[in-house]
Chains A and B, each alone.
Chain A
């Protein structure tokens, strides 16, 4: 695979105290694709993506072992955690714009507060990323209003623009539509397709149909292990593992 692999996960294990949440995960996530992560609640999906930006280790008692190579570099031993998070962005389940900042400042918050930006460029960067998430026309007259004043769906797109502004290699999405109405969900799904042009996307979803709609690759987790990882079409049309088949047809989970 080599150059085509964005994230190379090797023998990844993760714990919460004594409880092992991830067991020997080995997967290669191809560059500029959308990978859906599916599986029943508590199967380790969130833990897995939080190991990709080193947020799992922030929980007291949490531990990680194994390697995660981002562009060939191990994010645990060869990179600083802050640098990892600038290269691996994240969008959360509940939209969480900074309520103390305007719409515009929200987009560039990461650039502004982690230093290393060109002052005159922030306005242009904000516009570019708001356009990229299709929010510009809706908010261009309200750029100075609080980020918390937008609707839920708009807030979530604002959070995506905020992640995008860092020009990350990877964007992690932890059930980004589960708090949204169907119309906003459709917009985010459409957006995820477009975002492939900018970054590699890993998206957790509880909605199997959503995984089928938005992803190129699908990874099915069960009890902390990867049961099946394949391209989405193959996984949905001809699952190799009977567990996968039962999960995607809604017979458990």
Chain B
């Protein structure tokens, strides 16, 4: 085969790859562009700080849903991230090869593949049916559960890559196991654990199904964790299906806010991992 022909093949292959890549990301660009185009006009100070107005009146906002999303995400993180870190720590440091360890590993991996709806139904039957009302606590439970496999996997992987030389150094100093696991191995792996936790946070920020079964919705500022609570996700779900122009516009605005939230988390992950490599650790 001649040189020219090889170069032509190379060019053709490159062109094809580029074309396929573009077609793969073009829906994403389309979505992002239409969210910005439709949502930007909804965003105002009133939109992000006030309650919805009674139906028929213009104005009002979704401040309660922004607050609700942050409250529920924070509550989910408060228990989901530590539980995930402990699980990952167990898999990496305490049980790499036993039967129980592999059972836990399979459970974690299966948990990661369970549809989010199932988590919602689970929390619904476990908590909502028991207390006989919708509650933000059930939402935090369901979303926290979804965070566990993501955080556990990230923790396990980033602790496993810590060199055994470091573990031996700690053993040889007579440092107790729990102390060397937390203060040395986990501390060295903290960059990976942090980015895994942020990604899990981003992931649950986009979930709607579990919320419909748990926190449901509210038109008021949150006053208690044990009550229904509005969230951006459910605002989008409710308003987008409503058929009223004002509400649909607000759903676009809520989408834009949610997208910005997830985007800023992803940027935070980028920055935190870049720092990790810069340290050389």
Contacts and interface: CB of A to CB of B under 8 A. Distances in A.
Interface stretch (A88-96, A136-144, A221-229): A88-96
Q: A-B pairs with the 8 shortest C-beta distances? A: A110-B173, A86-B174, A85-B174, A90-B172, A96-B165, A99-B281, A96-B169, A100-B187
A148 interface: yes
Contacts of B281: 99-100, 146, 148
B168 interface: yes
- Which of B163, B172, B180, B279 gathers the greatest number of chain A CB atoms within 10 Å? B172
Contacts of A83: 174
Given A99-B281, A100-B187, A94 B165 contact: yes
- Which of B171, B173, B175 gathers the greatest number of chain A CB atoms within 10 Å? B173
A162 interface: yes
Contacts of A94: 165
A211 to B, nearest CB: 22
A166 interface: yes
Contacts of B170: 98, 109, 113
16 contacts: A92-B165, A92-B172, A97-B169, A98-B166, A98-B170, A98-B188, A99-B280, A100-B184, A100-B188, A109-B175, A109-B184, A110-B174, A114-B174, A146-B281, A148-B280, A166-B173
Nearest to A60: B97
B132 interface: no
B44 interface: no
Q: For chain A, which range describes its interface: under 10, 10 to 19, 20 to 34, or 35 or more residues?
A: 20 to 34
Given A99-B166, A109-B173, A114-B174, 9 more contacts: A55-B171, A89-B173, A94-B165, A96-B166, A110-B173, A114-B175, A146-B279, A149-B280, A162-B173
B26 interface: no
Contacts of A82: 174-176
B107 to A, nearest CB: 24
A58 interface: yes
